[in-house]
């Protein structure tokens, strides 16, 4: 894994789960990290654990002005920006008949609009500094369908193809754009799915572990893939979709 020493990064959804693990690993590899989350207190706690150079940013990633301010604050604090991890996400377990318009709009706003907005403001800063790397968190359900997850599947499919389009557009500017597609990962969001579906958590997690490696992922499993794609070890990698799911899609 390439060193991140001196790199300047923003991680959205950084207060918990995959985002928290990614912020921690980036900091451990030497990066200065801005931990961004709607849960500002949680972001502050994670930033504190990341060391004195880390900062916390409270924002709703679906609101353009808040995204603009977050990028500006991080760039001002660090003197630029090299890495953006678009990780913020939510899930609603329901089919299209059960999903309300408000639920659909919120899932699409947090999961897709946020990638557009954060990238829109971050890319010019990266280009001014000579380039950078963006890693978007997709999902295995961005590559295939899933039961009672219509809005989530649609949103993550959009993230996967938006990643490819951004890689094409901004490669000439020195900005690499890639996507990590996790399988079921042991986070609060995964456990919330059991509640949404009215299933026992223990049985739900056992079913999620039914894959070749016979376990669900850990946030650290996904964080290692994200940091790899953000590092110089992936210097010739852009527009790619890295599936990290213990063999589930296989």
Judge contact between 112 and 162, C-beta under 8 A: yes
- Report DSSP letters for the chain, one per residue: ----TT-EEEEETTTSHHHHHHHHHHHHTT-EEEEEES-HHHHHHHHHHH-TT-EEEE--TT-HHHHHHHHHHHHHHHTS--EEEE---------TTT--HHHHHHHHIIIIIHHHHHHHHHHHHHHHTT-EEEEEE--GGGTS--TT-HHHHHHHHHHHHHHHHHHHHHGGGTEEEEEEEE-SBSSHHHHHHHHHHT--HHHHHHHHT-STT-S-B-HHHHHHHHHHHHSGGGTT--S-EEEESTTS--
What pLDDT sits at residue 169?
A: 98
Tell which residue, 185, 170, 91, has the closest CA to residue 134: 170
Residue range 21-31: mean pLDDT, rounded: 97
The CATH architecture one would assign to domain 8-244 is 3-Layer(aba) Sandwich (3.40)
Q: Note the pLDDT of residue 66.
A: 98
User: Which residues are catalytic, by number?
Assistant: 152
pLDDT band at 188 (very low <50, low <70, confident <90, very high): confident
pLDDT for res 205: 87
What CA–CA distance (Å, rounded) separates 167 from 161?
10
199: left (phi over 0), alpha (psi -120 to 50) or beta: beta
**pLDDT tens digits, 226-248:** 999 999 999 999 999 999 999 99
How far apart, in whole angstroms, are the C-alpha atoms of residue 39 and residue 203? 29
pLDDT at 122: 98
| The model scores a pTM over 0.85 | yes
């Amino acid at each position: 894994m390439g060193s991140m020493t001196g790199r300047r990064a923003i991680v959205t959804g950084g207060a918990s789960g995959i985002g928290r693990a990614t912020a921690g690993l980036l900091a451990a590899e030497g990066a200065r990290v801005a931990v961004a989350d709607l849960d500002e207190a949680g972001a502050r706690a994670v930033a504190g654990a990341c060391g004195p150079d880390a900062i916390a940013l409270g924002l709703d990633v679906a609101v353009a002005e808040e995204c603009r301010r977050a990028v500006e604050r991080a760039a001002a604090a660090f003197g630029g920006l090299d890495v953006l991890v678009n990780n913020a996400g939510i899930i609603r377990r329901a089919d299209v008949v059960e999903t309300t318009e408000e639920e659909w709009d919120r899932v699409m706003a947090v999961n897709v609009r946020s990638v557009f907005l954060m990238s829109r403001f971050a890319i010019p800063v990266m280009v001014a500094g000579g380039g950078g790397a963006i890693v978007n968190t997709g999902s295995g359900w961005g590559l295939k369908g899933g039961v009672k997850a219509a809005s989530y599947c649609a949103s993550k499919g959009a993230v996967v193809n938006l990643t490819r389009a951004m890689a094409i557009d901004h490669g000439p500017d020195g900005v690499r754009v890639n996507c990590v597609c996790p399988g079921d990962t042991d986070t609060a969001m995964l456990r919330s799915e059991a509640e949404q579906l009215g299933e026992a958590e223990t049985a739900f997690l056992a079913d999620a572990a039914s894959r070749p490696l016979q376990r669900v992922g850990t946030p650290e499993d996904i964080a290692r893939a994200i940091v790899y794609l953000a590092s110089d070890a992936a210097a010739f990698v852009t527009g790619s979709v890295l599936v990290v799911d213990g063999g589930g899609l296989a």
